[in-house]
Structure 1
Amino acid sequence: MFSPLVTFPALYFATLLMLAGSGLFTTYIGLRLTEQGAGDFWTGALMAAYYFGLVCGGKFGHRLIASVGHIRSYVACAGAATVTVLIHALIDDLNVWIALRFIMGVVMMNQYMVIESWLNEQAENHQRGKVFAGYMVAVDLGLVIGQALLAWHPQLDYKPLLLVAICFASCLIPLAMTRRVHPAKLVAAPLEIRFFWQRVPQSLVTIFTAGLLVGGFYGLAPVFASRSGLDTAQSSFYVGLCIVAGFCAQWPLGWLSDRLDRCKLIRANAVLLCLAAVPLWGLITLPYPWLLAAGFVSGMLLFTLYPLATAFANDHVEPERRVELSAMLLTTYGVGACIGPLLAGAAMEHFGPGTFYVLTSAYALILIVFVQPRFVSGEHRLDAAPLHHVAMPDSVSPMAAALDPRIDEVPQEMVVEAPASIGPGSEKT
């Protein structure tokens, strides 16, 4: 019997180490700046710079992998990530840190691309679901381990940076030692942005909103927890619990998604998220257990919007366009994740930490208004719809598109970059 953990241990272990370092680093930066009295806007700007680096990193990663190959490009970028982290310990300047976060986003996108393209090429089509599930477990488990490391060492000195550097340096080892055949070079393909905007506008709006929410969460949730009176260990536990909640909700949501109207399910998710965020607005002071409970519920709903919208979009796009669709959705998500931390940081700086969840309710309200079954014409709905729901991690590159088991035949030439212009359209999802 095929077991992805046995077949791809090096790739999964490298992913786990990389995400552990990234999760620890993101939370540490937010708490460190809060302790130093930096404005919440600048904390959000650091996260926005990281996501902007991810968005811009696709083109850089494609060229680097094409020039020197997968292993060398991964080694170079993991080394650059390690150096970037250690520079934070030498230079305590916010402007420099913003530039470093952008660089971190660029190099980590290359690392995502290497691992995901490798998994894609060497996973057979009937194995793709298990391979993708294994990859998702490695991503989420790595993020949770990162929070656990900060809870283990809650002092906001330079030692957490050393732990991050150790994680980034250690993820080199499994890929450098693997004996698996290297994947083929990547070839870029065009992406028709106007086509997808006309075909699946409600999905794109949902994905963009999910980017606003998740980008803001990773950047400002530690700040929210800290300014709500939690210490470093409690703040990292709060963030980790929310991530675990999103992970746990993926499969029950998938079961519902395969049986209920997905447009109605997105709207219901948005209604529940809007309400679940209300206790966290800061109107009342919640005891620590109740704060964790409210964060858990909101995390369940927040992290499930992206996979639900992806499933909804796949129901209305032909199989041969699904790799491009996934790349389009991830790009849209990345743009939202660039903007989300900036908006949340500015709002929290002026109106207090609870404003983070006020914005969460506001974003959910936008989905309630925009995503409605009466806007769904059904004109382009596939005969096979609804397709099987697939749980999706939020920390991936466009290369992960081809791991999606809903794509029956995956070419080796992957969609990496696709500049195009967005035009107006009238077709609805």
Structure 2
Amino acid sequence: MRTTLVSLIPLFISCFILLLGNGLINVLIPVRMGLDGMDTNTIGTVLSLYFVGMLLGAIYSKYLIKRAAHIRVFAGCVSLSAVSILICSLFSDPILWGGMRIVIGFCNACAFTAMESWLSESSTKETRGKVLAAYTAVVLSGLFFGQFFMNIASPEGSTLFVFSGILLCAAVIPMVLSRNSGPAISEVSSMSLLALYKVSPLGVVSCLVSGVIYSATFNLLPVFAKDYGIVDFQLSLYVGAAILGAFLLQFPVGYLSDRFDRRTVLAILLFISAVADFSVPVLASQNILWAVFLGTAITCGIISCTYPLSISEAFDKLRQSEMVAAMGSMILAFSIGGVLGPYTASIAMDYYGNAALFYSVALIQLLLAGFVMYRMAVREALPVEDQEHFVMQGASITASVELDPRTEYIEQQPELSSEAETAVSIAETDPAAAVKMARAIAMANPVLGVEVAAAVATVHGIDVLRLYEVMKEAVPDQILTVTRAVVTVRPELAYELVSKLAEWYPEQVVSVAAEIGRALPEQRIEMAKVAVEYAPESVAEVAEYYAQVLAEEHEAVRPADREDDTSEEDAASIASELWQAAPEQALDVAVAMVDALPESAVLVAEEYLASNIAETDEEASAAGSPDIAEAGQAIVEYQEGEEVWSQEWTQESTDDYHNTVELVARLAEVAPEQAIDMAVAVVEAVPGSAAEVASEMAGNFYESKPDETDEPAIEVDEEQEAKPLDYEDAVELVQRLSDASPEQAMNVAVAVVEAVPESASEVVDAISQGDESTEGEWINSVDHKPAEPV
């Protein structure tokens, strides 16, 4: 991480200087327009146009970068910003300044996109969150310190405009002197604003409103401050307090939003901010400046947090593959709000005075809080543990999508070396020569040789297996690296390549297959297959490894992505491949999979039965449906102390049934929450095993009644004596197993009652539903049973 940040120092320096200039411009423009006698409505209109430029820049910036590359786009746009602010120093005309604000907004959007793409390329999946945090800190620091330059000269002259232009031009220097050429821009599919609204109404509305209140507050603060005598250095402190609040409050807000329902946190924050908004003009009229500064810092901090909270709320409802596309719509919503904010607030200020800035913002926040509460009423809250983490972001930079650690990470592919490009060109016309070239380069430079071999393997017509053998002869000590590189570019040949490796280095096949399986999920079944074919003694090791990998991935699946999660199916498929290679370890493999991924218990059990249990003799399981009254009588006879087992039950004690029961017992032990579902699946596959499965399940899940000599620890009331809590589970077990194997209903019921004698009445009711007369007879019989079984 330290190395990554050090390499990004030139970019951070350019970013800091750029935001110093923007921090000065953001305060200078409204102050100067006020000094020139422009009305508040005009000031708000000119300031709103900045976000028009930001929106246009967000749309066209990637096109420009593709055409001219990162450094040239950054240098050109920042230089154009400098020209724009210098032009503003020549003429004090609202139309001209409005046009220049559009240009500055456009240029800033392009500059931010160039910087963020560069940061994304320099980051890994593990470091991009920290890089984003450092980037946000640099941006807010630049804005904070930049507005203090207002005190070096009078805003009535041109000095501050010139100084702003100097800062913008200086921002280009560290960037252009960097040796990094910048990354390639990738295409991103977009999601319409309407489609995003259907998925997350609150996310879209909150993002739109955050643009309104953010742009209104931070752009018009100098206008409000002037009306209450907050000018010169006090103005710098005042705006600085607002920016500092925007930075500091993200930490406690992020902490709270990750530990409580995010919508509740947002609603409470909006109410707090509204209270602060109402208090600021009152405190300002009383000239209690420290309280005005504090109230402004609080409300501006909460306003700044509304944007990242909006993003998190939307991300909670989106699939990870949709996040980057959705961010375009979120930026659009924020930019629309940014255009509306200063203009609408300035109208209110024009009619009702400058204090209306905070009153209008408070009203908007209360309306948003009401919408939040409405969404809480109509949509169930997502469990806190399933919420996306809050990520600190500055609302002034709305395009940091690729750096967001919550979005799907796409590893940047490095550019091919000149040797690799040459080898690819040769391979297209003379494959044999390209293979020889790869061999020669590998012998001279193994690392470069691996890159060349992987590049050549992508060319149509290349005999990849022959290339693989040649590389093994040339650099045998690098063959594992060669295997990974070639499989990555030609995954459809993974099985053949790893099989070759297994022939050469059988002791390495398990580790390589495991690593490739982790990196390429679609190849896991093939890798498991080849691993156990060449190292059958490693079945348990391979099963445990893949089970752990699947469990980690399943745990990391977001709620919105669960429909596409195939972890359970993959667990069953991989287990099947493993136990086919080592049937004697089949049950151990099944247990290892289910132990790591309990949700896969049913599928693994079904796959196990299909692969390892012979079909049950139909005559044994279909000896005829028992008379329901006979089943009830059997239960009563059992409770009176007689051993009652049907002939069918004793005849079904085959080896297959014992294997089935052992499967149920062991899987139920590692996945108790899935036990009943798994037992039903087993009985559906082997109906004749129903009684033994019921007996095993009941014995595991329910404690037998104490002996007569045992004294109850506590007294229970009559209602508890009539229906203890265990009865519901016992009845469910009987009902579901009886439905799965109707012919075994009597035996299932007797097995459960044997383990839980007190449940007899409920069990009778369960298996006699729909036959009121018989049910009445059973209940009457059970009511007259002895108090304790003999």
Normalised by the length of structure 1, the TM-score is: 0.91
Trace 1:114-133 onto structure 2 (pairs within 5 A): 114-133=114-133
Could you say which residue in structure 2 is the equivalent of 1:357? 358
**Contact residue 65 and residue 186 of structure 1 kept, 8 A:** no
Could you say which residue in structure 1 is the equivalent of 2:218? 218
C-alpha separation in 1, matches of 2:188 and 2:316: 25
Could you say which residue in structure 2 is the equivalent of 1:173? 173
* Paired residue type of 1:309: S
C-alpha separation in 1, matches of 2:301 and 2:3: 28
Could you say which residue in structure 1 is the equivalent of 2:773? none
Could you say which residue in structure 1 is the equivalent of 2:291? 290
**Contact residue 14 and residue 171 of structure 1 kept, 8 A:** yes
* Paired residue type of 1:307: P
User: Is the partner of 2:394 in helix, strand or coil?
Assistant: coil
Q: CA deviation at 1:80?
A: 0.7
- Deviations 1:94-131, CA, capped at 9 Å, x for gaps: 11111111111111111011001111122111001110
* Paired residue type of 2:248: C
Could you say which residue in structure 2 is the equivalent of 1:377? 379
Trace 1:21-420 onto structure 2 (pairs within 5 A): 21-153=21-153, 155-282=155-282, 284-372=285-373, 374-375=376-377, 377-378=379-380, 385-398=386-399, 400-410=400-410
Q: CA deviation at 1:186?
A: 4.0
User: Is the partner of 2:259 in helix, strand or coil?
Assistant: coil
C-alpha separation in 1, matches of 2:411 and 2:368: 34
Moved more, 92-101 or 145-154: 145-154
**Contact residue 317 and residue 382 of structure 1 kept, 8 A:** no
C-alpha separation in 2, matches of 1:156 and 1:244: 27
Could you say which residue in structure 1 is the equivalent of 2:14? 14
C-alpha separation in 1, matches of 2:166 and 2:378: 49
Q: CA deviation at 1:408?
A: 3.9
**Contact residue 186 and residue 412 of structure 1 kept, 8 A:** no
C-alpha separation in 1, matches of 2:151 and 2:300: 19
Q: CA deviation at 1:382?
A: 8.6
Moved more, 44-53 or 305-314: 305-314
**Contact residue 315 and residue 382 of structure 1 kept, 8 A:** no
Q: CA deviation at 1:137?
A: 0.5
Long gaps (5+) in structure 1 = 414-429
**Contact residue 47 and residue 218 of structure 1 kept, 8 A:** no
User: Is the partner of 1:277 in helix, strand or coil?
Assistant: helix
C-alpha separation in 1, matches of 2:39 and 2:323: 41
Q: Given the superposition, is the C-alpha separation of residues 299 and 407 from structure 1 closer, same or farther in structure 2, using an over 3 Å criterion?
A: same
**Contact residue 188 and residue 324 of structure 2 kept, 8 A:** no
* Paired residue type of 1:303: S
User: Is the partner of 2:401 in helix, strand or coil?
Assistant: helix
Q: Given the superposition, is the C-alpha separation of residues 188 and 320 from structure 1 closer, same or farther in structure 2, using an over 3 Å criterion?
A: closer
C-alpha separation in 2, matches of 1:120 and 1:364: 34
Q: CA deviation at 1:40?
A: 0.8
**Contact residue 260 and residue 384 of structure 2 kept, 8 A:** no
**Contact residue 155 and residue 232 of structure 1 kept, 8 A:** no
Q: CA deviation at 1:218?
A: 2.5
* Paired residue type of 2:232: T
- Deviations 1:61-103, CA, capped at 9 Å, x for gaps: 2221111111111111111111111101112211111111111
C-alpha separation in 2, matches of 1:307 and 1:27: 24
- Deviations 1:367-399, CA, capped at 9 Å, x for gaps: 1210025345249x599621221111112243x
C-alpha separation in 2, matches of 1:335 and 1:108: 17
Equivalenced residue count is 411
- Deviations 1:333-361, CA, capped at 9 Å, x for gaps: 11101100001111112211100000111
Moved more, 169-178 or 320-329: 320-329
C-alpha separation in 2, matches of 1:174 and 1:345: 39
User: Is the partner of 1:281 in helix, strand or coil?
Assistant: helix
**Contact residue 245 and residue 299 of structure 1 kept, 8 A:** yes
**Contact residue 117 and residue 185 of structure 2 kept, 8 A:** no
* Paired residue type of 2:353: G
- Deviations 1:199-250, CA, capped at 9 Å, x for gaps: 1111111111111111112221111111111122212221111110110011
Moved more, 368-377 or 119-128: 368-377
Q: Given the superposition, is the C-alpha separation of residues 7 and 235 from structure 1 closer, same or farther in structure 2, using an over 3 Å criterion?
A: same
Q: CA deviation at 1:152?
A: 4.2
Normalised by the length of structure 2, the TM-score is: 0.50
C-alpha separation in 1, matches of 2:162 and 2:265: 43
**Contact residue 282 and residue 353 of structure 1 kept, 8 A:** no
Q: Given the superposition, is the C-alpha separation of residues 298 and 32 from structure 1 closer, same or farther in structure 2, using an over 3 Å criterion?
A: same
**Contact residue 41 and residue 343 of structure 2 kept, 8 A:** yes
* Paired residue type of 2:209: T
Q: Given the superposition, is the C-alpha separation of residues 354 and 191 from structure 1 closer, same or farther in structure 2, using an over 3 Å criterion?
A: same
C-alpha separation in 1, matches of 2:397 and 2:378: 28
**Contact residue 151 and residue 237 of structure 1 kept, 8 A:** no
**Contact residue 85 and residue 164 of structure 2 kept, 8 A:** yes
User: Is the partner of 1:182 in helix, strand or coil?
Assistant: coil
- Deviations 1:247-289, CA, capped at 9 Å, x for gaps: 0011111111110100001100111011111112358433222
* Paired residue type of 2:320: P
Moved more, 6-15 or 330-339: 6-15
**Contact residue 49 and residue 102 of structure 1 kept, 8 A:** yes
Give the superposed CA RMSD. 1.9
C-alpha separation in 1, matches of 2:175 and 2:90: 29
Q: Per chain length, whose mean CA-contact separation is higher, i.e. which structure has more relative contact order (CA < 8 Å, sep 6+)?
A: 1
User: Is the partner of 1:207 in helix, strand or coil?
Assistant: helix
C-alpha separation in 1, matches of 2:109 and 2:230: 32
If you compute each CA radius of gyration, which structure gives the higher value, 1 or 2?
A: 2
**Identical aligned pairs, as a percentage?**
25
**Contact residue 46 and residue 97 of structure 2 kept, 8 A:** yes
C-alpha separation in 1, matches of 2:401 and 2:385: 20
C-alpha separation in 2, matches of 1:282 and 1:172: 44
* Paired residue type of 2:45: A
